[in-house]
């Protein structure tokens, strides 16, 4: 039932405004594929091109081998969950879910069976006779999901489905969506601007910026080995250090950071002495160390968050760095004004070309076709 | 909606085409016809002599200045009465406010010529009050006919527009603004003049424009109570049906002059309000306060007096509809005689009214919502044209619209004159813009994603519209339809141009009866009309669960 989606060199423009210039991606059958990016990056535009609400100016989109460019929306066989749920306000929960099935040549009995079954799956059965205005946001979300998947579409499209929910419901619903998607095994394209949500829910993530895909990969790769500085900055937080290559010794590349601290990075592409680089270190990629090993910094701000402690530390660079440590592993909590010494976890830190912003870590690719 | 570069012919293309046909055939061609006629002589040659004739004869020029003077005076008076009324009822507690509002709405929606007729019955030459004062006290009151009478009827019929508009706007003025003004030392009348009034000024202006256009277009009132104080609609009608043979060319020229004046007023208002529109945050809605002592009494007297004066004609007609008549004369005693006569003689006009109105409403609802969808959801060339078309009927007076329909469709290829169809067409074209506007307003509040959800579930454009969009809009459509229904059953001016013996409606029959002195039957028919209207209004309030009408 599930299909793969092949997006080839598609283009989208509104009058003279080109939103997507030339975009390709291959979405595998049955996976949950997330389009992640800041607002205005073209992720929703792309989703609506797959749905057929937006026209495609060039290129093709196909479900398996079937090109869908010219197939009208109502014949594309996809289910969609909208940002505002788009539950029909004039129909009860049951009628909403039943709506798509009534359009198919099915017996009344089968319709009833399938509606009942999906209501059990999304846990909305007790509310089946209610009208949408009497439902909470989470319940509406479940109805929207049930309505989209009950017709057993080939593809499920979700446009920021959790953005209107409060934080607690968001966590609960994202687990529910993940579970149901796996159970049904439907190819899903999921749009969000929330990186944490994307990391938690996706099989693979495509990070988008200004109409282009920057990188496609599994969540942990996207986070740990970003292809370029945009991805590194958009997903999580990174501290930036300018650096210069001092020499190469076996698999280790020696780099001196702007504050004079030397680090030895493993697994980089071949670099020459004197090459300028950018080193990105995430807050959790620092370790407190002795005066001899670490680079010196001064604590500017300390935030105690229970499980973690956040520090803002001045290493003498242009910007203060953010450092996070697990509260359970430290012996001592530093206060503002303290002098501290930290080392960089070189197996985790990333190095980028200072001009192109592309990674210099060996073996990291964008996966963009 | 469809991912193809070329134009795919779908349901909405069909609707676009339909809108072009409907407005093209029944609005653009007739208006074009009128413009052409205005510049033609009887031989079909181009001429401006129609305009020269109009502007060179004092008789005609007088009718234009009459129109403008009486309409402007009415508009100013209406503002002077309506704005304070709106301020009082929205700022202070008035006992029976709800009933007052309903009475005001009733007097707003009933046709003006009925007001004229009733005031003649009360204050005319042989009016009840006139005779009573003359015979028992020897007091002679000034004549109601002419300028004064028209003004009286216009003001009492039209102040509700300003009242409703202003009240609606005042309700949206955040109470904190008034409190802020007081904290800065402005209170009482200074606060009103400096804060509240400027904020609702664009709304008052919009209401005043509606009042101006309504009064300007009205034929029945000046015809009945004007007695020689001719206005433009009266002239147009006379020229069209004059005994020396109809003069379609001259009538067209006068109609064009009238439409230009109306269009200028309309555009001026649009221009001014586009420059002065403000938006406000509404966190703290205003609440009516309880007044004490003399101010409280005065506020109540003011409200009750105005409502009483404007409802009086209606009440008087209902009372005298039960008075016995003998031929054309009043007789002693009360009974159902007038109603018996009405039902035996004028049953067909009652049936006609309901028939035409129901057919027109059905067409208006279906086409109006479809066209509203086009203007809101399908931004293309056709929908932009549609936006302009639906402004037209605001500035075309009924008399003129009836006239141009008749001139266009009284000869091949399409002969409609004398049929019920032409009356229905005139109702549909003149009333549909209101439905398009109100439906468009509802549509803008409904997320387009419900349509998309339906499409994603396998429904095409047309089944999506009728399964989802229209049902969601239903409440709004229905309330708009009831208002259109009321205005249609009360319609006189265009029907008067278009009816024949067979297609006579209630308002036409009433008008004829009044003209020939059959006051008893007229009163009975008017009462039937009023009762129908009140029942419809109550239905409206019940269905919409609201206390007010959004204009």
Chain centre distance of CA A72: 29
Contacts of A75 in chain B (CB under 8 A): 458
Residue B280 pLDDT: 63
Residues 6+ apart with CB under 8 A from B413: none
CB-CB under 8 Å, B2 with A90: no
Are both B363 and B247 inside the same structural domain? no
Burial code (b: 16+ CB inside 10 Å, e: under 16) for A125-151 equals: bebbeebbeebeebbbbbbbbbbbbbb
DSSP sequence for B332-353: EEE-SHHHHHHHHHSHHHHHHH
CA dihedral (B288, B290, B295, B297) positive or negative:
positive
Q: What is the pTM of this model?
A: 0.80
Tokens of residue B133, six digits? 């004062």
CB-CB under 8 Å, A148 with B4: no
Residue B264 pLDDT: 92
Contacts of B468 in chain A (CB under 8 A): 88, 90
Residue B199 pLDDT: 82
Q: Alpha-carbon distance B252 to B240, whole Å?
A: 9
Distance from CA of A108 to the nearest CA of B (A): 18
Are both A103 and A251 inside the same structural domain? no
Residue B279 pLDDT: 63
Could you tell me what percent of chain A has a pLDDT over 90?
70
Structural domain tally of chain A? 2
Q: Alpha-carbon distance B496 to A314, whole Å?
A: 88
- Answer whether residue B333 is part of any domain: no
Distance from CA of A275 to the nearest CA of B (A): 49
- Answer whether residue B332 is part of any domain: no
Q: Which residue of A has its CA nearest to B456?
A: A74
Are both A243 and A182 inside the same structural domain? no
B182 touches A at CB < 8 Å: no
Other beta carbons within 10 Å of B413: 5
Is the Cβ–Cβ distance between A56 and A90 less than 8 Å?
no
Are both A283 and A209 inside the same structural domain? no
Task: Examine the pLDDT at A140 and tell me if it is beyond 50.
Answer: yes
Strand partners, A288: A342
CATH of the domain at B139: 1.10.3720.10
- Answer whether residue A242 is part of any domain: yes
Residue A125 pLDDT: 92
**Facing residue for B447 by CB, picked from A74, A86, A100:** A86
Are both B314 and B351 inside the same structural domain? no
Are both A220 and A241 inside the same structural domain? no
CB-CB under 8 Å, A52 with B2: yes
Whether residue B285 is preceded by a cis peptide bond, meaning omega within 30 degrees of 0, is no
CB-CB under 8 Å, B460 with A52: no
Distance from CA of B456 to the nearest CA of A (A): 5
Interface predicted TM-score (ipTM) of this complex, two decimals:
0.81
Are both B307 and B388 inside the same structural domain? no
CB-CB under 8 Å, A83 with B452: no
CB-CB under 8 Å, A100 with B2: no
CATH of the domain at A87: 3.40.50.300
Instruction: Count A/B contacts: CB-CB distance under 8 Å.
Output: 90
**Facing residue for A70 by CB, picked from B3, B456, B468:** B3
Chain centre distance of CA B532: 17
Are both A143 and A33 inside the same structural domain? yes
Tokens of residue A366, six digits? 């964008």
- Answer whether residue A41 is part of any domain: yes
| Domain termination residue (choose one: A200, A224, A248) | A224
Q: Cα angle at B253 between B247 and B257, to 5 degrees?
A: 145
Contacts of A57 in chain B (CB under 8 A): 5
Residues 247-306 of A with CB under 8 A from B: none
Distance from CA of B230 to the nearest CA of A (A): 53
CB-CB under 8 Å, A74 with B456: yes
CB-CB under 8 Å, A103 with B459: yes
* Residues A142-178: tens digit of each pLDDT: 999 999 989 889 999 999 998 888 888 888 888 988 9
The residue-averaged pLDDT of A275-301 equals 91
Are both B310 and B395 inside the same structural domain? no
Q: Which one, of A26, A6, A151, lies nearest residue A69 by Cα?
A: A6
Q: Which one, of A232, A234, A200, A233, lies nearest residue A219 by Cα?
A: A200
**DSSP state at residue A75:** G
CATH of the domain at A321: 2.40.50.100
Q: Residue B68: how many CA atoms within 13 Å on its side-chain side?
A: 13
Q: Residue A88: how many CA atoms within 13 Å on its side-chain side?
A: 29
Residue B4 pLDDT: 42
Are both B302 and B364 inside the same structural domain? no
Residue A356 pLDDT: 94
B460 touches A at CB < 8 Å: yes
Q: Which domain holds residue A261?
A: 237-352
B1 touches A at CB < 8 Å: yes
- Answer whether residue A361 is part of any domain: no
- Answer whether residue A359 is part of any domain: no
Q: Which one, of B148, B270, B157, lies nearest residue B217 by Cα?
A: B157
Q: Which one, of B367, B411, B366, B420, lies nearest residue B389 by Cα?
A: B367
Which helix (H) or strand (E) is B521 found in, with range?
helix B519-544
Residue B1 pLDDT: 41
CB-CB under 8 Å, A77 with B458: yes
CB-CB under 8 Å, B4 with A53: no
The residue-averaged pLDDT of A66-93 equals 91
Q: Residue B525: how many CA atoms within 13 Å on its side-chain side?
A: 33
Are both A249 and A218 inside the same structural domain? no
* Residues A222-269: tens digit of each pLDDT: 999 999 999 999 999 999 999 999 999 988 999 999 888 999 999 999
**Facing residue for A72 by CB, picked from B2, B5, B452:** B2
Distances (CA, A) of B258 to B64, B211, B238, B254, B409: 8, 16, 15, 6, 22
Q: Alpha-carbon distance A211 to A231, whole Å?
A: 14
Are both A327 and A214 inside the same structural domain? no
Residues 422-451 of B with CB under 8 A from A: 447, 449-450
Is the Cβ–Cβ distance between B317 and B128 less than 8 Å?
no
Distance from CA of B280 to the nearest CA of A (A): 25
Burial code (b: 16+ CB inside 10 Å, e: under 16) for A307-319 equals: eebebbbebeeee
Q: Which domain holds residue B147?
A: 49-279+295-320
Q: What residues in chain B have per-residue pLDDT under 70?
A: 1-8, 243-246, 276-283, 546-551
Tokens of residue B10, six digits? 């779908």
Q: Where are the alpha helices (DSSP H) in B418-518?
A: 420-444, 449-456, 461-464, 470-489, 493-498, 506-516
Q: Cα angle at B14 between B9 and B20, to 5 degrees?
A: 125
Residues 73-102 of A with CB under 8 A from B: 73-80, 82-84, 86-90, 99-100
CA dihedral (B165, B171, B174, B177) positive or negative:
positive
Distance from CA of A249 to the nearest CA of B (A): 57
Contacts of A87 in chain B (CB under 8 A): 450
Q: Which one, of A275, A273, A239, lies nearest residue A259 by Cα?
A: A239
**Strand ranges (E), chain A:** 5-14, 17-27, 32-36, 58-63, 66-67, 78-81, 155-159, 187-192, 204-209, 212-217, 239-249, 252-257, 262-266, 276-281, 286-288, 295-304, 308-314, 321-326, 339-344, 350-352
Structural domain tally of chain B? 2
| Domain termination residue (choose one: A196, A224, A252) | A224
Are both B116 and B250 inside the same structural domain? yes
Residue B5 pLDDT: 42
């Amino acid at each position: 039932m599930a299909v793969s989606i092949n997006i080839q060199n598609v283009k989208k423009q509104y009058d003279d405004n080109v939103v997507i210039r030339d975009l390709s991606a291959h979405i595998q059958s049955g996976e949950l594929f997330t389009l992640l990016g800041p607002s205005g990056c073209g992720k929703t535009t792309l989703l609506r091109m797959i749905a057929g609400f937006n026209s495609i100016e060039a290129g093709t989109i196909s479900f398996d081998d079937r090109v869908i460019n010219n197939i009208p929306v109502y014949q594309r066989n996809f289910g969609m969950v909208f940002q505002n749920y788009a539950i029909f306000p004039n129909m009860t929960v049951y009628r909403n879910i039943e709506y798509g099935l009534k359009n198919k040549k099915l017996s009344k009995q089968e319709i009833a069976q399938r509606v009942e079954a999906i209501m059990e799956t999304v846990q909305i059965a007790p509310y089946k006779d209610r009208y949408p205005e009497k439902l909470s946001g989470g319940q509406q979300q479940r109805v929207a999901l049930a309505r989209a998947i009950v017709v057993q579409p080939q593809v499920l499209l979700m446009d920021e489905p959790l953005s209107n929910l409060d934080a607690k419901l968001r966590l609960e619903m994202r687990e529910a969506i993940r579970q149901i998607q796996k159970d049904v095994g439907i190819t899903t394209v999921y749009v969000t601007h929330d990186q944490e949500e994307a990391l938690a829910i996706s099989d693979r993530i495509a990070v988008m910026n200004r109409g282009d895909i920057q990188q496609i990969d599994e969540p942990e790769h996207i986070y740990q080995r970003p292809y370029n500085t945009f991805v590194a900055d958009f997903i999580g937080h990174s501290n930036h250090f300018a650096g210069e290559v001092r020499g190469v010794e076996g698999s280790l590349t020696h780099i001196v950071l702007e504050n004079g601290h030397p680090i030895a990075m493993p697994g980089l592409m071949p670099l020459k002495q004197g090459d300028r680089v950018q080193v990105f270190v995430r807050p959790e990629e620092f370790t407190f160390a002795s005066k001899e090993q670490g680079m010196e910094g001064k604590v500017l701000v300390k935030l105690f968050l229970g499980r973690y402690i956040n520090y803002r530390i001045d290493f003498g660079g242009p910007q203060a760095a953010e450092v996070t440590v697990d509260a359970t592993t430290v012996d001592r909590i530093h206060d503002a004004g303290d002098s501290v010494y930290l080392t960089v976890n070189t197996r985790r830190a990333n190095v980028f070309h200072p001009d192109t912003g592309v990674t210099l870590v060996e073996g990291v690719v964008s996966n963009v076709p | 909606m469809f991912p193809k570069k070329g134009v795919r012919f779908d349901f909405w293309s069909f609707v676009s085409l339909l809108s072009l046909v409907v407005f093209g055939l029944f609005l653009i061609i007739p208006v074009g016809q009128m413009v052409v006629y205005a510049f033609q002589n009887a031989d079909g040659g181009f001429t401006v002599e129609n305009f020269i004739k109009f502007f060179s004869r004092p008789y005609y020029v007088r009718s234009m200045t009459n129109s403008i003077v009486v309409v402007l005076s009415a508009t100013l008076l209406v503002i002077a009465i309506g704005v304070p009324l709106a301020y009082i009822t929205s700022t202070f507690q008035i006992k029976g406010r709800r009933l007052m509002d309903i009475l005001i709405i009733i007097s707003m929606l009933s046709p003006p010529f009925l007001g004229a007729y009733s005031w003649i019955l009360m204050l005319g030459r042989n009016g009840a009050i006139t005779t009573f004062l003359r015979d028992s006290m020897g007091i002679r009151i000034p004549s109601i006919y002419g300028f004064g009478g028209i003004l009286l009827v216009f003001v009492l019929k039209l102040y509700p527009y300003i009242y409703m508009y202003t009240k609606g706007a005042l309700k949206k003025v955040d109470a904190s603004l008034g409190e802020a003004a007081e904290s800065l030392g402005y209170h009482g009348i200074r606060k009103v003049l400096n804060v509240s009034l400027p904020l609702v000024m664009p709304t008052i202006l919009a209401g005043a424009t509606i009042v101006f256009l309504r009064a300007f277009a009205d034929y029945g009132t000046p015809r009945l109570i004007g007695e020689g104080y001719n206005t433009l609609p009266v002239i147009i009608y006379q020229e069209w049906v004059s005994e020396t043979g109809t003069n379609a060319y001259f009538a067209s020229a006068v109609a064009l002059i009238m439409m230009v004046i109306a269009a200028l007023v309309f555009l001026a208002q649009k221009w001014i309000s586009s420059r002065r529109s403000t938006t406000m945050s509404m966190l703290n809605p205003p609440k009516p306060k309880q007044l004490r002592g003399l101010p409280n009494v005065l506020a109540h007297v003011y409200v009750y007096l105005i409502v009483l004066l404007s409802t009086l004609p209606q009440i008087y007609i209902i009372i005298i509809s039960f008075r016995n008549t003998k031929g054309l004369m009043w007789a002693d005693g009360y009974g159902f005689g007038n109603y018996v006569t009405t039902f035996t003689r004028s049953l067909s006009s009652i049936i006609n009214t309901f028939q035409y109105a129901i057919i027109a409403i059905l067409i208006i609802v279906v086409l109006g919502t479809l066209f509203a969808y086009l203007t809101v959801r399908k931004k293309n060339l056709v929908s932009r044209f549609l936006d302009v078309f639906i402004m037209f009927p605001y500035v075309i007076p009924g008399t003129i619209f009836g006239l141009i329909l008749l001139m266009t469709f009284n000869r091949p290829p399409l002969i409609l004159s004398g049929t019920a169809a032409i009356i229905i067409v005139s109702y549909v074209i003149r009333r549909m813009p209101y439905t398009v506007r109100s439906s468009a307003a509802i549509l803008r509040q409904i997320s387009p994603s419900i349509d998309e959800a339906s499409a994603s579930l396998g429904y095409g454009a047309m089944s999506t519209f009728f399964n989802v969009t229209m049902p969601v809009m239903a409440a709004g459509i229905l309330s708009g339809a009831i208002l259109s229904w009321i205005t249609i059953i009360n319609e006189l001016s265009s029907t008067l141009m278009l009816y024949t013996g067979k297609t006579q409606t209630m308002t036409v029959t009433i008008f004829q009866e009044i003209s020939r002195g059959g006051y008893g039957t007229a009163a009975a028919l008017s009462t039937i009309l009023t009762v129908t209207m009140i029942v419809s209004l109550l239905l409206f309030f019940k269905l919409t669960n609201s206390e007010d009408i959004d204009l």
